[in-house]
Amino acid sequence: MATLERNSLIAAVIFDLDGVITNTVYFHYLSWQRLADEEGIPFDRQIHDGGMLGLNREDALCYLLGDRQVSSCQQQLLLARKNDYYLELINELNNEHLLPGIGSLLTELHAANIKIALGSSSKNAELVLQLLGIEHFFDFIADGYSVPNLKPAPDVFLHAAESLGISPSHCLIVEDAPAGVAAGLAAQMWVLGVGPYERLAQAHLILPSLAGVSWTDILAKIDYSRNLHKQPVSTESI
Ligand code: CA
């Protein structure tokens, strides 16, 4: 019975895309770098990783532009150019670009009848999942087109949970960026941070990567966290 109770705690896992399932972060960086170089804007990997990780494309462009004033029309043209550069690069994506551990975790979740969703700010999310050959695992895809307010707002995760018919407190978010962790916590969901502790300290559970991590390991960590009274703030009992 204890196993059943524990397994019923999480009914859905909602994954972020960039930095969790695959590393399109590097392709994003290359696309921004090309745009910045063409526009004569000083830019490097450090600036990208320090301020733009986890931001949606509009906010990332604002960060890149800094004090430079551009009209909303110019802004759209710059975003379109950046996206064209990105699409050129990601056409080379394939199954080998899955981050370590994600393939086996998806297979395990599917076998355990846990619902699987994507909760990403990306507007190319479906294409990326197709190129990676894992689209069939996903019961629902919430992406940059799904809701007006992107992370750190909780909307994209709440939309995914509602579409799956699962209450937020039974959802686990897998995220690699502070904005995504904040979104998951605001949605009153369990949050697993994947990456360095200092970046993800607010998450309920933190792992350096998903390599070699099984669903059973994650459930055990959630159980442990519950015993420490770390859990999503909700009026609903779980
Ligand atoms: Ca991410």
Type of residue found at 155: D
pLDDT value of residue 56:
80
Distance 178 CA to ligand 1 centre (A): 9
Q: Is 18 a catalytic residue?
A: yes
Query: What phi and psi values does residue 142 have, to the nearest 5 degrees?
Result: -105, 120
Q: Is 223 a catalytic residue?
A: no
Separation of alpha carbons 230 and 188, rounded Å: 12
Distance 121 CA to ligand 1 centre (A): 9
Domains in the chain, CATH or no CATH each: 12-22+95-234 (3.40.50.1000), 25-90 (1.10.150.240)
pLDDT in tens, the chain (238 residues): 333 344 468 999 999 998 999 988 889 999 999 999 999 999 999 999 889 987 888 999 999 999 999 999 999 999 999 999 999 999 999 999 999 999 999 999 999 999 999 999 888 999 999 999 999 999 999 998 899 998 999 999 999 999 999 999 999 999 999 999 999 999 999 999 999 999 999 999 999 999 999 999 999 988 888 877 666 754 443 3
pTM as predicted: 0.82
Query: What phi and psi values does residue 108 have, to the nearest 5 degrees?
Result: -65, -45
Separation of alpha carbons 38 and 97, rounded Å: 28
pLDDT value of residue 5:
40
Distance 186 CA to ligand 1 centre (A): 17
CB 150 within 8 A of CB 123: no
Pick the catalytic residue from 18, 143, 155, 176.
18
